[in-house]
């Protein structure tokens, strides 16, 4: 009598022979499709590959992530226009974060593969401290159920960790850029050049290394007024000499404050398109010799930016104070404006 184990083995061998003789197209249906090799050349490519893999796991037609903390970022996979998606779900995202649960809505969104998504599920990013944002899952022609919401919640934790990693990488890059900028500022500041030559170069370094659209150095004159000595960009301003009593931000900075201004009104000493300003005094151990004004046209400033601006001003202050013309202007009678003004010449900058 033939043993059962032998019968099973014979049956298995027969099945293997039958599958081996099957057409190639049938075998391809039984296996997983082969993904083409892709090159990763940027962070956008990384996020596209990451979201693409998670989209397959979640059985979605498209996937996106929008985060506001600890860094602002928006990335999507198979979405034709990410900004349109972001605008479409802004209210749903706020509701999902407030209720801490998935929210579904019907909004038509064009996909990159030519289809039109009609169903969107908005899920808060996983409970990772310091992370705020939402996962956006999209489907075409079919909705979501409770199992989909549970799966999306698990995927949102993975994305929350990736947002944290992206924030750390961005901070590392920024710290490296700031270190290089401070090194270049020190190199130019300590060069054997006259202050009139070094100041415009240092203003250029400040603007380009620390992402400022506007950088200005104002220096006190003998009569307690301020004169613009270097500026980026160098443009025809209505005002190049200012009296602190006529400009509250100048007066506040000369009192020793470092502060930020948002949405400044139309001022004669700054470009009207400037969205936000940081003003810091040039304060040495002996006195305040002027002030540093930095601005951005659209992007805002953080508390870290204010602290860095103060450090830059503290670095500039002794260089400016050591200049003989600056020392002579402070030694002059406070009512005398002429000596410092005539000796310095014209405005410098780019």
| Whether the model pTM is above 0.85 | no
Contacts of 117 (CB under 8 A, 6+ apart): 61, 62, 108, 109, 110, 111, 138, 139, 140
Contacts of 108 (CB under 8 A, 6+ apart): 116, 117, 118
Per-residue pLDDT tens over the stretch 83-104: 767 776 777 777 777 878 888 8
d(CA 224, CA 289): 10
* Domain residue spans of the chain: 38-170, 191-349
Tokens of 136: 């956006």
* Section 8-25 average pLDDT: 59
- pLDDT value, residue 156: 92
Angle made by CA atoms 67, 139, 95, in degrees to the nearest 5:
40
Q: Quick one: fold of 191-349?
A: Beta-Lactamase (3.30.450)
Where residue 327 falls among pLDDT bands split at 50, 70, 90?
low
Rounded Cα distance, 195 and 281, in Å: 18
Q: Give me the helices (H) in the chain, please.
A: 4-20, 24-30, 43-58, 82-88, 90-99, 146-189, 195-209, 248-254, 303-321, 324-331, 338-344
Mean of pLDDT over the chain: 79
Measure the CA–CA gap between 185 and 202, rounded to whole angstroms: 6
Encode pLDDT of 187-221 as tens digits. Answer: 887 777 787 888 889 999 999 888 899 999 998 88
Spatial CB neighbours of 348, under 8 Å, sequence gap ≥ 6: 196, 199, 200, 229, 230, 234
| Architecture, CATH, for domain 38-170 | 2-Layer Sandwich (3.30)
Nearest to 218 by CA among 288, 160, 287: 288
Q: Which of 246-250, 252-256, 315-319 has the lowest mean pLDDT?
A: 246-250
Q: For the residues 250-276, what does the mean pLDDT come to?
A: 77
- Angstrom distance (rounded) from CA 56 to CA 161: 19
Whole-number Å distance between alpha carbons of 350 and 338: 26
- Which of these, 78, 88, 68, lies nearest to 134 by C-alpha position? 68
**H or E stretch at 133:** strand 132-139
In this prediction, residue 350 has a pLDDT band, given cuts at 50, 70 and 90, of very low
- For residue 174, what are its two tokens? 């920024």
Q: Cβ neighbours of residue 210 under 8 Å, at least 6 residues apart?
A: 177, 178, 181, 294, 305, 308, 312
Q: Do domains 38-170 and 191-349 have the same CATH topology?
A: yes
**Length in residues, the chain:** 350
Q: Which residues contact 272 (CB under 8 A, 6 or more apart)?
A: 266
């Amino acid at each position: 009598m033939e043993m059962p184990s032998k019968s099973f083995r014979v049956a298995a061998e027969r099945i293997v022979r039958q599958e081996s003789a099957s057409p190639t197209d049938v075998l391809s249906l039984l296996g997983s499709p082969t993904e083409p090799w892709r090159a990763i050349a940027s962070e956008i490519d990384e996020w596209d590959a990451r979201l693409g893999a998670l989209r397959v796991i979640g059985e979605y037609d498209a996937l996106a992530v929008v985060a506001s903390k600890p860094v602002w970022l928006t990335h999507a996979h198979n979405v034709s226009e990410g900004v349109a998606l972001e605008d479409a779900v802004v209210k749903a995202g706020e509701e999902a974060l407030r209720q801490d649960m998935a929210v579904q809505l019907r909004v038509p969104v064009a996909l990159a593969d030519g289809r039109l998504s009609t169903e969107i599920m908005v899920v808060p990013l996983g409970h990772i401290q310091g992370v705020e944002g939402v996962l956006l899952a999209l489907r075409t022609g079919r909705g979501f159920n409770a199992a989909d919401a549970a799966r999306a919640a698990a995927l949102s934790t993975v994305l929350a960790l990736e947002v944290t990693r992206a924030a750390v990488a961005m901070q590392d890059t920024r710290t490296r850029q700031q270190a290089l900028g401070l090194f270049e500022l020190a190199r130019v500041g300590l060069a054997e050049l006259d202050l009139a030559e070094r100041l415009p170069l240092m203003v250029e370094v400040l603007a380009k290394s620390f992402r400022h659209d506007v950088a200005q150095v104002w220096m006190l004159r003998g009569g307690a007024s301020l004169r613009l000595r270097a500026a980026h960009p160098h443009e025809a301003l209505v005002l190049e000499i200012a009296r602190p009593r006529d400009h509250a931000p100048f007066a506040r900075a000369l009192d020793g404050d470092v502060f930020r201004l948002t949405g400044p009104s139309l001022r004669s000493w700054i470009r009207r398109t400037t969205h936000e300003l940081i003003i810091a005094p040039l304060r040495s151990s002996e006195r305040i010799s002027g002030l540093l004004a930095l601005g951005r046209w659209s992007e805002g400033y953080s508390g870290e930016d204010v602290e860095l601006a103060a450090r830059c001003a503290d670095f500039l202050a002794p260089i400016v104070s050591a200049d003989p013309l600056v020392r002579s202007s402070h030694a002059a009678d406070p009512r005398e404006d002429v000596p410092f003004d005539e000796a310095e010449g014209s405005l410098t900058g780019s």
